[in-house]
Amino acid sequence: MTIAMAAATTTPTSRALALAITETRLILRNKTVAVSSVLLPVALGVFWSFQFESGGDPARQAVSITLQLAVAMTMGLYLTATQTLVTRRHTRVLKRMRTSGLSDRGLLAATLAPSVVLALFQLAVFAVVNVVTGTPLPSDPLPLVLAVFGGLTLVVAAALATSVVTPSPERAQITTLPLMFVMLGVGVVAAIAPADGWWPALMVVPGAAVGDLTQLALTGGAWTAGAAGLPAILPPLAALVVWPAVFGTFAARRFRWDPRH
């Protein structure tokens, strides 16, 4: 099936599904993407699961799980989604598909859906590995669930925004690096940082909320008093709302359907 065939189906839903299936096949057939966005993140996540065996220490558990979340979200989703958007724009596929009967949002959702599914698959693999290695279950699963879905929303919005400033598919390897390094680094720091002092200020950095929520999930301190006497879960939740909104607003205003030269 080709992308052109995806446009030939009869209803918007079937067109979107056909496009998503096509994108999945294209991702899996690309050896570079398959290694950098599928195999490497899984290998790193499994390695970290054994490297940070906790022995019952919530701090080590938080670091391991935060790294797994960050690598799946950045390498598995953010990088893949950005490359996909820029490549389809560069080859004028996105512009042609706007005549297929799909709305702009539907077209972008279908294009990015395989990358989201890929990241969720990686997280599922990590969950199984963590169970096998004896990682205890979170004391409070809610913050971890929020970290997963909030983090996925963050990197999808970031991919849309990054595609705006990425002139070619090759440059996506470079333009995505800053956020990837930031999310991996600050996520780990937030996962081990105490809830008092100046550490809550880390929430102004994209991705820190994922590490903080992971820590709260494992320690069970989500509803204890934190900064300004507010529940500790509120600052990272606010960050996971604000940052996707910032990236999404930028992408909505500046997104380009034509190739950049």
Q: Give 187's contacts (C-beta < 8 A, 6+ positions apart).
A: 66, 67, 69, 70, 207, 208, 210, 211, 214
* Within-domain flag for 259: no
Under DSSP, is residue 166 helix (H, G, I), strand (E, B) or coil? coil
pLDDT computed for residue 197 by the predictor: 61
Sign of CA dihedral 201, 138, 76, 26: negative
* Within-domain flag for 36: yes
Is 259 buried (19+), middle (13-18) or exposed (0-12) by CB count in 10 A?
middle
pLDDT computed for residue 138 by the predictor: 87
Q: Which of 134, 126, 143 is nearest to 217 (CA)?
A: 143
- pLDDT tens-digit map of 175-212: 999 999 998 888 888 777 766 666 667 788 898 999 88
What pTM does this model have? 0.88
Q: How far apart are alpha carbons 88 and 7 in whole angstroms?
A: 15
Q: How far apart are alpha carbons 232 and 221 in whole angstroms?
A: 7
pLDDT computed for residue 56 by the predictor: 63
More confident residue, 245 or 19: 245
Q: How far apart are alpha carbons 2 and 46 in whole angstroms?
A: 34
More confident residue, 215 or 245: 245
- Range with the largest mean pLDDT of 56-60, 96-100, 226-230: 96-100
More confident residue, 103 or 195: 103
Q: Which of 108, 93, 155 is nearest to 255 (CA)?
A: 108
Show the tokens assigned to 243: 């940052």
Q: Give CA torsion, residues 12, 18, 21, 23, to 10 deg.
A: -80
* Within-domain flag for 114: yes
Confidence band, pLDDT 50/70/90 cuts, at residue 9: very low
Range of the domain at 248: 3-254
More confident residue, 80 or 231: 80
* Within-domain flag for 34: yes
Rounded mean pLDDT, 44-68: 79
Helices assigned H by DSSP within the chain: 3-6, 12-29, 31-33, 40-51, 58-71, 79-90, 93-97, 104-132, 141-164, 172-175, 177-192, 208-219, 234-254
pLDDT computed for residue 227 by the predictor: 64
pLDDT computed for residue 178 by the predictor: 93
- Number of domains comprising the chain: 1
pLDDT above 50 (res 135): yes
- State percent of the chain over pLDDT 90: 37
Q: Which of 66, 56, 61, 155 is nearest to 112 (CA)?
A: 155
Show the tokens assigned to 216: 């709260």
* Within-domain flag for 164: yes
pLDDT above 50 (res 240): yes
More confident residue, 58 or 155: 155
pLDDT above 50 (res 6): no
Q: Give 61's contacts (C-beta < 8 A, 6+ positions apart).
A: 52, 54, 135, 136, 218
pLDDT computed for residue 248 by the predictor: 95
pLDDT above 50 (res 8): no
Least confident of 52-56, 106-110, 115-119: 52-56
Q: Which of 216, 213, 210, 143 is nearest to 180 (CA)?
A: 210
* Within-domain flag for 261: no
Q: How far apart are alpha carbons 125 and 95 in whole angstroms?
A: 36
pLDDT computed for residue 223 by the predictor: 79
